[in-house]
């Protein structure tokens, strides 16, 4: 009974970690990634708890304490330094796009940076689910 429960719980937690990783990859903004990495840390705590559940060892429990203490620092730091991102900046680019950008290096990067200060504030209005405005 214990073995079956541990295997089932491990599978569920592994799938949850994968889904969090999917969100880390997809973005679309830095804050979404911060939130997803937070979720990944908590999922890791759960995974270590499952391992301790199976082996009945208590040596790994201090790791849980440390992880839960420092786990939130990442998202708090990223939130503290969050800045407006131009549309498309937070996306992971495909190799073709990277090659295309390498080809027209004539476009100075400073122009795109400049937009982020004075540009329209609803840079993510195209975001999935963002209400029409």
| Separation of alpha carbons 58 and 120, rounded Å | 54
Residues making up the chain, counted from first to last:
133
Comparison of 11 and 99: residue with beta carbon closer to another protein:
11
CA distance 30 to 24: 9
Please list every residue from 12 through 51 that binds another protein, using CB under 8 A. Answer: 12-13, 15-20, 22-23, 29, 31-32, 34-36, 38-39, 42-43, 45-46, 49-50
Which positions from 72 to 91 touch another protein by CB under 8 A, shown as an x/- string? x--xx-xxx-xxxx------
- Through-space distance between the first and last CA atoms of the chain, rounded to whole angstroms: 54
Q: Which stretch binds another protein (CB under 8 A): 93-101, 105-113, 120-128?
A: 120-128
């Amino acid at each position: 009974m214990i073995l079956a429960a541990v295997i089932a719980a491990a599978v569920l937690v592994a799938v949850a970690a994968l889904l969090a990783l999917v969100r880390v990859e997809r973005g679309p903004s830095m804050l979404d990634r911060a939130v997803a990495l937070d979720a990944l840390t908590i999922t890791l705590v759960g995974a270590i708890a499952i391992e301790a559940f199976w082996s009945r060892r208590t040596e790994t429990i201090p790791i849980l304490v440390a992880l839960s203490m420092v786990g939130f620092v990442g998202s708090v730091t990223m939130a503290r330094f969050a800045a407006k991102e131009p549309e498309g900046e937070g996306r992971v680019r495909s190799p073709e796009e990277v090659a295309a950008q390498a080809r027209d290096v004539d476009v100075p990067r400073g122009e795109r940076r400049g937009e982020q200060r004075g540009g329209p504030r609803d840079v993510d209005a195209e975001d999935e689910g963002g209400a029409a405005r």
